[in-house]
Homo-oligomer: A and B are copies of this chain.
Amino acid sequence: MKAKKTEIRLADGRALYYFDEREDAVRAAHDPRDLPRTTTQSEIRWDPLLDQWVIIASHRQARTYHPPPDQCPLDPSRPGRQTEIPAEDYDVVVFENRFPSLSSAAVREVTGDVDGVAEPPPDGAGAATFFTREGGVGRCEVVCFTSDHDAAFPSLPPSRVETVIEAWVDRTAELGALPEVAQVFCFENRGEEIGVTLSHPHGQIYAYPFVPPRMRRQIESARRYRDRTGECLHCALLQAERDAGDRIVHETPLWTVLVPHAARWPYEAHVYSRRHVPDLPALTEEEKADLAEVYVDVLRRFEALFETPTPYIAGWIQAPAHADRDLAHLHAQVFSIRRQAGKLKYLAGSESGAGVWVNDITPERAAAQLRAEPV
């Protein structure tokens, strides 16, 4: 199944893409709002102690924050109330964030040219190296999973999940083809407990101008492993987990859901493609159709852990856009910060200060709970 994609421009010039499940969908509605272009002062700064980039996005303090339910900017438009989506209904919609952490506009304002992905500063000393900063080039997009304000991802039918996957595939390929984008990251934050201020079911896509630390460290580990063994570290880990079995949550012939042996979060599951593929665009139609079932199944397992909706973060670890693509192995990471009903795992001194995670639940027990076994 392929969704029908239609591109339009919002009143301030931002791109919006409809992904329709019906081939005869017509997307003629235009955005009549008088919407000024927002200016961004986003930049990236190099941290020479921790050897990584940090995004400074000072214009975002004014962003939308817990709007009343009748003012949701992700609802379809209706007579008398224009939202971010001009149409009166939609299946899946992706559009550029009005308050982006990264944008093509930013770099032009801050440093002049778009000239490829950001590189760490050359070896050197003094302020010229220590205070390296560049424009916050890249893209931040919003993905609306459904026009139904009161729905949630775990309640979507697999056919809709397939459309969401099509949107992720499209955006990963299109954004990853930009010379200034090094990594495309599709993710969803769900729940007020992790700071979500819009309850409408939606996710985000960040197209970073550098390879983020988590992906970079995995690439480095995979490179060392391949240099030594000639094999993919992820493939070997996946096989070892399947042999052990006690942290496997769910399997199909094409996908494996597992809790990693050294899980950081009280409830954390990784959704692994069994085939060695770099990213979502590399999946076959059969793999995507199966993924739709597997992905919504794992979210439903998270949903069933507690009596109230489980807050979670879900994100796709894909290959970098232009380098080391064979060292990556597509997987999603889904985790919750809730450790018991009414209790959250906070990142305090050990985690945020020293970088050491303390997990209160054994991965084997978390896997059993996600399998819905008595523990």
Report which A residues bind B (CB closer than 8 A).
45-58, 60-61, 65, 101, 123, 125-127, 130-131, 133, 183, 185, 187-189, 194-196, 204, 206, 208, 212-215, 217-218, 220-222, 224-225, 228-229, 231, 233-234, 236-237, 240, 243-244, 260-264, 313, 315, 333, 335, 339-340, 343-350, 352-363, 365
Contacts and interface: CB of A to CB of B under 8 A. Distances in A.
Contacts of A58: 360-362, 365
B194 A356 contact: no
A237 B48 contact: yes
Nearest to A65: B343
Given A126-B236, A356-B55, A49 B349 contact: no
A54 B359 contact: yes
Interface core residue of A46, A224, A353 (most chain B CB under 10 Å): A353
B51 A220 contact: yes
A88 to B, nearest CB: 30
Contacts of A57: 358-360
B131 A218 contact: no
Given A57-B360, A195-B344, 14 more contacts: A48-B225, A48-B233, A49-B237, A49-B260, A51-B217, A54-B263, A56-B362, A58-B362, A127-B244, A130-B240, A188-B349, A208-B356, A212-B350, A347-B347
B195 A346 contact: yes
A358 B100 CA distance: 11
A357 to B, nearest CB: 5
Contacts of A345: 195
A363 B83 CA distance: 34
A23 to B, nearest CB: 32
14 contacts: A45-B262, A48-B233, A48-B237, A49-B218, A53-B356, A56-B363, A57-B359, A61-B340, A125-B229, A131-B240, A131-B244, A208-B356, A212-B354, A217-B355
A127 B240 contact: yes
- How many copies the complex holds: the figure is 2
The 4 closest A-B pairs by CB, nearest first: A195-B346, A213-B355, A187-B349, A315-B353
Nearest to A129: B240
A137 to B, nearest CB: 14
B313 A349 contact: yes
Nearest to A50: B217
A352 B344 CA distance: 15
A361 B61 CA distance: 8
A195 B358 CA distance: 14
A195 B353 contact: no
Given A212-B355, A212-B356, A313-B349, A125 B236 contact: yes
Contacts of A213: 354-356
A313 B187 contact: no
Contacts of A217: 49-51, 355
A189 to B, nearest CB: 4
A244 to B, nearest CB: 6
A289 to B, nearest CB: 25
Interface core residue of A60, A123, A218, A360 (most chain B CB under 10 Å): A360
Contacts of A215: 354-355
Nearest to A219: B49
A234 B224 CA distance: 29
A357 B52 CA distance: 10
A130 B261 contact: yes
A348 B51 contact: no
Nearest to A204: B349
